Amino acid sequence: MATFSVHVTIENKPGISDPEGETILNDLVLKGTHKIVSKIKTAKMLKFTIEEKDKKTAKIKVQEICDELRIYNPMVSKVTIDVFDA
């Protein structure tokens, strides 16, 4: 068994509006001089530290936990899971 850090990124699906990101872009970033920025998307990230036998199993386990506990709604959110050695 090894310890892994699993990052779960939850963001609105592409095409669905993201009022928070738009507000940060329009009312903060573009108000300054950062005209090169064209888009900002917000997301929520959860970092799990987990004991598993390998990266693949760690990823599957975290996915299961998130699904079971409704940490995100698959209707709205896109989820990306990245695994790192802790």
What does the block give as tokens for 75? 């209707």
Give the Cβ contact number of residue 67 at 10 Å. Answer: 12
Strand partners, 6: 48, 83
- 1 vs 75, beta carbon nearer another protein: 75
Structural contact between residues 45 and 5, judged by C-beta atoms closer than 8 angstroms: no
Output the smallest distance, CB 42 to another protein, in A.
12
DSSP per-residue string spanning 67-80: HHTTSS-TTTEEEE
Q: Applying CB under 8 A, does 13 fall inside the site for another protein?
A: yes
Asked if residue 23 binds another protein (CB under 8 A), the reply is yes
Q: Which stretch binds another protein (CB under 8 A): 3-11, 17-25, 30-38, 47-55?
A: 17-25
Binding footprint of another protein on the chain (CB under 8 A): 12-13, 15-19, 23, 70, 73, 75-76
